[in-house]
Structures are given as C-alpha cells and as structure tokens.
Copies of this chain bind each other. A is one copy, B any other.
C-alpha cells in the first residue's frame, strides 16, 4: 500500500517523457480541433481533403485509410458528410468496378484555402514558447524517437 503509493508518484524518466508527450500533444490537438469545430468542421474530415490534394485531387478510399491511419469503415463514414456538403464527389472506377474514385470539388479546395492557413497559425501560436532552434531540436528528437 505505502510502496504502491510511492510507486505511482515516483515516475522514471521514460514515464515522465511519455506523460509530457501525451499532455502537450493533447493540448495542441485541442487547439486545432477547437478551430475546426468553430467552423462546423472536424480535423478528420479536413485530413481527408488534404490527403486528396496531396494526391493531386483524386484518390481511392483504401488509399485514404492507409495515409491517414484509420480503418476503411471509418473512411466510408467520413466521406458521407463530405459528399453531402459538396466538398468531395464519388464516382465508380471505369476499369475496376470494386473501386470508388474520390475527387475533391472546388468547394473542397476553397474550404482548405480559406481555413488551413489560420489553423496552422493557431497551432503555431500555441508553440510560441519555443525558439526556432528549439523547435528544430524537438523535431529531431521526435524523428529519432520514431525510428523503430
């Protein structure tokens, strides 16, 4: 009991880093999500539109799932409101009947043009406690952390 209470208090370095990562990231994600929410949108739908643009305006749902790191059923669910709002269009693939070609509309592109810069700005502001060299250092450490 006493030992357990002490154990949960005395965190080793790895755990301290882990909890700091979780907290810092949650705060930044929150800034971003709040921004999208204020526009009646959400981050997941925006990531879909961004990924379509990265591919040149057209993509398959299965590719979206891989790129964004969510399941295929989730992509289906995300595409429904995007289509209803006119930000994307579906079409069946001419050669392969299993596939659905997703295309971003001009409305979808406008949405990104009008909102991405401000969203980036909000996130950047939240990071303004760090100098540029510190951001670079942080990026380097995070990339090294990711090298399995």
Chain A contact residues, CB within 8 Å of chain B: 1, 4-5, 7-9, 12-18, 20-29, 32, 50, 53-54, 56-57, 69, 109, 112-113, 116, 120, 123-124, 127, 129-130, 132, 134-139, 141-148
Asked if residues A124 and B57 are in contact (CB atoms below 8 Å), the reply is: no
Q: A9-B54, A130-B141 are in contact. List 5 more A-B contacts (CB 8 A).
A: A4-B113, A7-B112, A20-B142, A23-B146, A137-B141
Give 20 A-B contacts (CB < 8 Å), ordered by A residue.
Answer: A4-B53, A4-B113, A5-B56, A7-B113, A8-B54, A12-B120, A15-B123, A17-B142, A18-B32, A21-B24, A21-B28, A22-B29, A25-B25, A129-B144, A129-B145, A129-B146, A130-B145, A138-B138, A138-B141, A138-B145
Query: What is the copy number of this chain in the assembly?
Result: 2
CA distance A129 to B148 in the complex (A): 7
Q: Report whether over half of chain A's contact residues are helix, strand or loop; otherwise say mixed.
A: helix
Report, nearest first, the 7 A-B pairs whose CB atoms are least far apart. Answer: A14-B124, A20-B142, A25-B25, A138-B141, A21-B25, A8-B53, A24-B142
Asked if residues A4 and B145 are in contact (CB atoms below 8 Å), the reply is: no
- A131: nearest chain-B partner, CB-CB: B144
CA distance A57 to B116 in the complex (A): 47
- A27: nearest chain-B partner, CB-CB: B146
- A106: nearest chain-B partner, CB-CB: B1
CA distance A120 to B123 in the complex (A): 30
Asked if residues B134 and A141 are in contact (CB atoms below 8 Å), the reply is: yes
